[in-house]
Structure 1
Amino acid sequence: MKLNYKIIFHFLGLLLLFNGGFMLLSALVSLLYKDGVTFQIFLAGIATVIVGVVGMLFTRKHKKEMNKREGYIVVTFGWIIMSLTGSLPYVFTESIPSFTSAFFETMSGYTTTGASILNDIEAVPKGVLFWRSMTHWIGGMGIIVLAIAILPLLGIGGMQLFAAEAPGPSADKLHPRITDTAKRLWLIYFGYTAAETLLLKVAGMSFFDAINHSMCTLSTGGFSTKNASVAYWNGQPIIQYIIIVFMFLAGANFVLSYFAFKGKVQKVIQDEEFKLYFKFIVVFTLIAAVIIYFKADASASSIVHPMVWGKAESSFRHALFQVLSVITTTGFITADYTLWTPFLVVFFFGLMFLGGSAGSTSGGVKVVRHLILIKNSFLEFKRTLHPNAIVPVRYNKKAINRFIVFNVLAFFILYMLSFIIGALVFSMFGIEFKGAVGLAASTLGNVGPALGDFGPVNNYSALPPLAQWWASFLMLIGRLELFTVLILFTPFFWRNR
């Protein structure tokens, strides 16, 4: 079957309309704060909208059917073209004059990695900072999920796109119609963002800081409006506790949030992935808190406010915040955990491979995949003793299709291979071992902070231009869960059947 190129370009044009529209919203924020770059952001938005309109007009006569191959192409190239055009506000305002660095920052935004090359974030115009946070917010729930919410207007079915972009081994549906699922997910996402903004404002943040940090929390992104990230508010623990709550919610499956709002709390409590996600956080927080209390200085970082409420509370808060930040791949920091003892450095490095729940906005391998791998590994002992026995892997009391188990195993192998190759390539650019493995784990897992020269209190400005392109590629394949992007590199994908 030949590829329907017209529908691909038509949809890419639609995505550019969205992108340009959000840029124009950022231009409005720039105008309100009179930061002097309103025209430049407006120009970037208009240019993007025009390209999108032209693309849609030239491809308006297309077959309104999309198969899996076209879905993979639209998702992958959609994220790339959004990042290319999303770089324009940085370039036009000269906030990031280098296009390579601007593209890196934008890809980091859309993939919710949160890795930045900006050395003085507080000097960046507010309209640009808002656009920077907006890239997180759009990419968090997924650009494509946003678009398929309005696809019925175009007469296009969106299941292929949702399956290609949805995080996790399978895409949970709340409603038989995929567009209704997208709308419900976005309603929850928007509601959480509004609630966090209000709470942070009441807790003492300015409205601008509150809305930016809310967008970056719910997307599990990690961009901040302050050079010290959330450590800027170390003197106001309530702000950090609010962010902790919403990081936890963002790292959990949004489908479970929907069930909770519908009063189906039992479904949430009985979900195996959610229970393991919660246990991981509790256990890892206790381990980190005890070590910080007895062995480390929790304030060893670029903290600008004195610690309050005593050493025990401080140790617990920093441990919980950083464990959640790394597991959910948000990447906010309250302290430099690389100064907390060598054990905790390795500990947090290991957490970069965990990830949040499937159906969340977090990156990483995902808890459900670890759960299936663990269960299948234990069952292998049974199969060894009883080779003729049929022992299926069960998840939420249901037997899992063996093809899902194979998919999870293949994903894990591909993920680890991508990590190894990623670290090797970074080392080719002259980056030392600690920095190379940290960069590979962080960019592939969409975490943000890495190790060594690219640790929590540093940024990625020292990364060579070619290494920035490589990091952008790792961020993309990590966010789209490997298969969606890597399948495009296989010869059989492009054969007309």
Structure 2
Amino acid sequence: MNRRMIGYIIGKMMGVEALVLLLPALISLIYREDDYVFFLMTSVVLAVIYFLLARKKPEESTIYGKEGLVIVAVAWVLWSIFGAIPFTISGNIPNYVDAFFETVSGFTTTGSTILTEIQSLPKGILFWRSLTHWIGGMGVLVFVMMLTSLDDKGAMHLMRAEVPGPEADKLVPKARSTAKILYAMYFALTAVEVVFLLFGGMNLYDSVMHAFSTAGTGGFSNRNVSVGYYDSAYIDGVITVFMILFGINFNLYYLMLLKHFKEAFKNEELKTYLGIIAGAVAIITINISSMYGSVLKAFRYAAFQVASVITTTGFCTADYNLWPELSKSVLLAIMVVGACAGSTGGGIKVSRLVILLKSVTQEIKRLHHPKAVTIVRVNGRKIGAETRQGVYVYFICYIFIIIGSTLLVSLDNFDFATTISAVLTTINNVGPGIALVGPVENFAKFSVFSKLIFCLDMLFGRLEIFPILLVLSPSFWRKRF
């Protein structure tokens, strides 16, 4: 393993985080808050680490798949460790474990929170909290590749280890160019949403905060009651549309830029994703219409919550804990499904669901016709045995992690609905669950041990299990590398 190159890239990442922390420091200065000092202090520490690790590029700069997984896992943990420091030293989240939970939730775009009072927090602190969503949405490594010169042999291993979904493809030959294209589209969509929210009466600060959280499909709001604070059908509609847009594979947007509209709109994952949304909205609208006295109002709340949950954003405009059991069950189901591969959303991804369902259909056909040659195809392309095996192994690991986490968190002795939904919402990077972790509740009530389990689950979910499993593997540490 190329230890020096790992250290070099980690050093670069610390340097980039040092620069990023200057943004919330600037916001604090603009609003005449003293918190800029805490961002600058953390930035200086990270700058020192950068100079120690990344002063000189190693002669051997090649990295492979294993190094890519290790770098991604370590980088996300370190960004969260240092990103939590301003929350604690400023006194806004005095308990460091709580601050770490909030930061991991931010970078992994989960949106679960331990905060009970949000609106009274300083503007710079809230800006940093939402900015973690925006950076984490497209990926910390992708963000660093876009800003630095990480464009050498094996750089694509970093992207493939971080971009969600069973496959991550280059849009153009060089990884850094791919990262720039992804972030250009990401920035453009975010900016357009800001403009639309401004037209809806939001001030500039609130518009940026909510656009960051929508883009990263994270769900942090600077309001105690989330988007429900504005009680605006227009704002609900804008955020609903953009949540759905950010849940779509960004490769399809690139195809549209190239005017390959037919190829983009025929994508099976996209059609399945939109079909699931339409079906869930229809079921919930019918189920809750009597609660709101109007089908249109029921549709507004149903569409918003379905978009929020399936894209794993986590915003809320209604307390769906009060909805009928059918509606809550539909939300839990689509929470597991999640958004599309290559999007900023979480969950197991629609593409994996499509492959799993087609694999089941293939096995049933084999039972009926043992001698028939059956092939699993998605978008007309054959899905190789290696990809299918990766999906099966991912799903098995996903189930075991949920079972293990549920058993460990149950030590806090909360009811089953609270415990299982807390695990599901963190590993799927959704944010709120049901019962005591519902849309108007938070995670402050859990023990330190459970919060650390949730942090691990959030990282498992965002990095798609294997980078974290590799670093936690005893055999990895036993070997000299």
Give the TM-score range, shorter chain: over 0.9
Q: CA deviation at 1:417?
A: 1.2
Q: Any idea what the Cα deviations from partners look like across 1:119-173, whole Å, max 9, x if unmatched?
A: 1100110000000011111110001111223454675641110111111000022
Q: Deviations over 1:268-325 (max 9, x none)?
A: 210000000010111110101111103xx35xxxxxxxxxxx8222110100010010
Aligned pairs (5 A) from 1:31-430: 31-57=29-55, 60-152=57-149, 155=152, 157-234=154-231, 236-294=232-290, 297-298=291-292, 311-430=294-413
Which SS does the other structure have where 1:352 is aligned? Answer: helix
- Mark the CA change 1:83 to 1:284 in structure 2 (over 3 Å): closer, same or farther: same
Contact 1:24 1:46 in 2 (8 A): no
Q: 1:71 to 1:210 in 2, by over 3 A?
A: same
Equivalent residue pairs, number: 480
Residues 273, 357 of structure 1: 8 Å contact kept: yes
Letter in 2 for 1:384: L
Provide structure 1 residue ranges, at least 5 long, that are not aligned to the other structure: 299-309
> Is residue 151–residue 157 contact of structure 1 (8 Å, CA) maintained in 2?
no
- Alpha-carbon separation, structure 2, partners of 1:204 and 1:163: 40
Mark the CA change 1:344 to 1:155 in structure 2 (over 3 Å): closer, same or farther: closer
Secondary structure of residue in 2 paired with 1:123: coil
Match of 2:431 in 1: 448
What is the percentage of aligned positions where both structures have the same residue?
37
Q: Is the 8 A contact 1:172 1:359 kept in 2?
A: no
CA RMSD in angstroms, aligned pairs only: 1.6
Structure 2 runs not aligned, ≥5 long = none
Distance 2:449 2:347 in 1: 24
For 2:337, what is the secondary structure of its paired residue?
A: coil
Helix, strand or coil: the match of 1:103? Answer: helix
Alignment deviations for residues 245-277 of structure 1 (CA, whole Å, 9 cap, x no partner): 110111000111111222221122100000000
2:70 and 2:470 in contact (8 A); partners too: no
The aligned runs of 1:452-491 (5 Å cut-off) are 452-491=435-474
Cα shift readout 1:363-389 (whole Å, capped 9, x = no counterpart): 100001111111111111110111122
The structure-2 alpha-carbon separation of the partners of 1:478 and 1:312, relative to structure 1 and needing over 3 Å to count, comes to same
SS of equivalent to 1:326? helix
17-26 vs 354-363, which moves further: 17-26
Contact preservation (8 Å) 2:112, 2:443: yes
Q: Is the 8 A contact 2:64 2:154 kept in 1?
A: no
What is the letter of the counterpart of residue 101 of structure 2? Answer: F
Within 1, Cα distance between the matches of 2:381 and 2:151? 38
CA contact 1:30–1:38 (8 Å) conserved in 2: yes
Amino acid at match of 1:245: V
Q: 1:64 to 1:425 in 2, by over 3 A?
A: same
CA contact (8 A) 2:305 2:316 kept: yes
Equivalent position SS for 1:122: coil
Hey, what's the Cα distance between the residues in 1 that align with 2:454 and 2:173?
A: 38
